[in-house]
Amino acid sequence: MPRVEINFDGIIGPSHNYAGLSHGNLAATRNQGAVSQPRAAALQGIAKMRANLALGLTQGVLLPHARPDHRWLDSLATDYAEAAPHLQAQALSASAMWAANAATVSPAPDTADGRCHLTVANLVTMPHRSHEWPETLAQLRLAFAHDAFRVHGPVPAPFGDEGAANHMRLAPEHDAPGVEIFVYGVSGGPFPARQHREASMAVARRHGLDPERTLFVEQSEEAIAAGAFHNDVVAVANANVLFAHELAFADKDSFYADLRHLMPRVEIVEVPAAEVSLADAISSYLFNAQLVTLPGGETGLILPTEARNTPSVWSWLQRHVAGNGPIRHLEVVDVRESMANGGGPACLRLRVVADPATIDPRFLVDSAKLDRIAAVIEAHWPAAIAQDQIGDPALIAHIAAARAALLDALGFDPANLSG
């Protein structure tokens, strides 16, 4: 079977809560202390995957991590019962659900050895995410154990790497050689720039990318300061289409010129700030959408309901489609629980171009498997978590039992996922 793009969505874990841990993520900060709904959140994620399957896309999953992370707490010489509340919250975070931060992926057509390379993201900037990578790496090594892949450990600290959320790829077809674009930050005003240029360059070297077809582009300080903590909040790419906000990049003119030189047929769809402000783009997650190639060859955009509910955004999209722009199909999905914690449709998925036959089938899903996953979620995920519950031993036992039920249903041994 030819290589295709597979979207691996993170299953939203049973510990999903609103602790407001992500400095610079405006939605997460705004909703700090709110009551979360893990069961509804996970079922919204399943519904998004069903919508992808209905569009004819190939779909996979990544699994919730063990929470709380007792090994991380042990490294801090404490345990969950005795840990300070901020450490409890950081150990309990379900943020691994945002699979766009799992790794950076370079498909086989772009690499020197003709294999698909994945480098797990170190996520060192935020304490609650810095301990994700060992378990993510264990999952990636299971899913992509075939010789068609090379899975790499993280770039060392202090060089922050946040994975595919700061990486874009353009290619005439998924299985053709492409141009890989690494977006990094230098300054974010009051907020940290999470992706370091040094980390991006290290990943490109590890993956054996052609320097002549690899671009390193600075994200604008204005975008980061406005709440675009990752590039995928203000730009996304697919096939020969780059979809970006006017204020996404520090030097867009040089970037666009370099891109047109490497890929003369590129279509750059830029949304003017005069029509959609940065604030509207970020609150609606217009660009944190899945830009995909549909089976008929047209380009589709999978958007959160917040985009439809933002007048400036929806008006621009309607004009674009009516004007015969390259984006021809709009699909709206409800991921409001993820959105309230600062992650849209694109945050929830990791794109991998590969032959599905080379992937551990436990990580691939069809409608029947999604039914099984949904049944486990319905039976075992907590309905709600209030912030004053996170120290409750009964809740912690509930979360552990829920994840164990999912792993059992999908045929995974927890010992192989611990990293």
> Catalytic residue numbers?
162, 230, 347
Q: What are the beta bridge partners of residue 383?
A: none
Tokens matching residue 231 = 């590039």
Element (H, E) at 354: strand 349-354
394: CB partners within 8 A, 6+ apart: none
Question: Residue 384 and residue 15: Cα distance in Å, rounded?
Answer: 10
Question: Residue 195 and residue 138: Cα distance in Å, rounded?
Answer: 23
Write the DSSP string, 265-322.
T-EEEEE-TTTS-HHHHHHHTSSSSEEEE-TTS-EEEEEEHHHHTSHHHHHHHHHHHH
Neighbours of 23 (CB within 10 A): 15
Question: Residue 292 and residue 299: Cα distance in Å, rounded?
Answer: 6
Specify whether the CB–CB gap between 196 and 160 falls below 8 A: yes
> What letters, b where the CB count within 10 A reaches 16 and e where it falls short, cover 286-320?
bbbbbbbbeeeeebbbbbbebbeebebbbebbeeb
Distance, C-alpha 31 to centroid of its chain: 20
The beta-carbon contacts of 70-73 under 8 Å, at least 24 apart in sequence, are 71/131, 71/134, 71/418, 72/131
Closest CA to 231 of 164, 309, 133: 164
